[in-house]
Amino acid sequence: MPGPPFQSFVECCRRRVTPETCPNARLVGSNIPIYSGPHLAPFLEDSSRISRLLNEWNRLLGEGPGVFVIEHAFERLDVIHQMTKCFEAIIAREKMAGTSRGDHFGDNERIWNSFQKSSIQSPHLFVDYYGNRLIALACRAWLGPHYQLTAQVNNVKPGSDAQSPHRDYHLGFQSNEVIGSFPESAQTMSQHLTLQGAVAHSDMPVESGPTRLLPFSQRFAAGYRHFRDPAFSDYFEAHAVQLPLSKGDLLFFNPALFHAAGSNRSANDRMANLLQISSAFGRAMESLDRLAMITAVYPELIRRHQAETLPEALLETSATALADGYAFPTNLDSDPPIDGNAPRTQRSYLLQAVRENWPWPHLQKTLSELARRRCA
């Protein structure tokens, strides 16, 4: 008979979303707030509405259901179509080169670090896709500024099995023994270091197996130590919800939420670009060659800036995606604080360079010197 931890888990998961906690959602479906991209568009021009939305999403991800959806999050759906083609080209190239790794289920296709690879494959598309302000706001809502994006593409073939319920990075990837070696306060804290997201690249009816989710399960403090226990998995199987998604929809959830990809019983592939976004204070799961990314995308930013087709918000969002916006760790002997504040960052140099139309060799030299100054 399951004991008290299971009972308190069930109490967490019995909660229901109330409309007062998500006043800007279009509706609540399956206990998950669902927002509409077109409805949120006017919010983006109003700083007080932005801050209300940031608070709303922060509470939903923390004490609320731990998950929300934004439908039709891309103003131009062709950006999704083109990025899908870009991913398909990367998958084909990696298959040809014999470097594709697949994933743990059958012949599914996977692109690790699709984030960096897409920036180099298609810089203009990278700006349109990761310049998406709704993605940026969701990241800020949970992690604050200077978050670190990473992304992995997952293309799940018909007939693929479901995953077991789990929590995600950091501690969701560790054994029970390792998890238990961290105090519960650190286990709970770790959920604040990451935000999970997904961009739907195909329509995902329920039979194609969009992620099954257990709203409010992130609130259960001991969840990292119990998500593999049969009583908890059985409860998940009985109570998890699944929302159909359409191409261009976004899903965001707390990494401590119990979840699992569903089985694909449809006749079509299910493709998502999985976003894993880290706090500036945390360590991301994948390493990035940011200099290679900036080298690829800088000419595109300059081209748009000179053509006056680079609004300030798009520049800021693109710079956050591309460049490290946090000043630490550094070497304070060679990279001292300026006027008692934090040293300058890669991101601040990139912004200055675009605004002042620096030639690439000048920015390249500046960033190389910064990298040298930050070395121990």
Tell me: does residue 128 bind Fe ion (CB under 5 A).
no
Backbone torsions φ then ψ of 27, nearest 5 degrees: -165, 170
Q: Which of residues 6-35 bind Fe ion (CB under 5 A)?
A: none
Query: Which part of the chain contacts Fe ion (CB under 5 A), choosing from 59-67, 165-173, 239-247, 296-304?
Result: 165-173
Facing residues of 148 across strands?
278
Number of residues located near Fe ion, criterion CB under 5 A:
1
| Of 160-168, 236-244, 284-292, 329-337: span binding Fe ion (CB under 5 A) | 160-168
Pairing assessment for the beta strands 32-36 and 27-29 based on DSSP bridges: antiparallel
The residue written with tokens 């449809």 in the block is 266
Backbone angles phi and psi of 194, in degrees to 5: -140, 150
Q: CB nearer to Fe ion: give 168 or 324.
A: 168
Q: Measured from the CB of residue 259, what is the shortest distance to Fe ion in angstroms?
A: 6
Q: Which pair of structure tokens corresponds to residue 256? A: 């401590």
For residues 149 and 363, which CB has a smaller minimum distance to Fe ion in the complex? Answer: 149
User: Minimum distance from CB of 169 to Fe ion (Å)?
Assistant: 8
**123/172 with CB nearer Fe ion:** 172
Closer to Fe ion at the Cβ: 110 or 347?
110
The answer to whether 66 contacts Fe ion (rule: CB under 5 A) is: no
Least distance in Å: CB of 255 to Fe ion?
8
Closer to Fe ion by CB, 195 or 323: give it. 195
Q: Does 168 bind Fe ion (CB under 5 A)?
A: yes
Residue 67 CB, nearest approach to Fe ion (Å): 12
Pairs from 83-88 (Cβ < 8 Å, separation ≥ 24): 83/118, 83/122, 83/125, 83/129, 83/201, 83/273, 84/201, 84/202, 84/271, 86/118, 86/121, 86/122, 86/125, 87/111, 87/114, 87/118, 87/153, 87/155, 87/201, 87/271, 87/273
Backbone angles phi, psi at 341, to 5 degrees: -105, 180
Please say which residue, 118 or 254, places its beta carbon nearer to Fe ion: 254
Binding site residues, Fe ion, CB under 5 A: 168
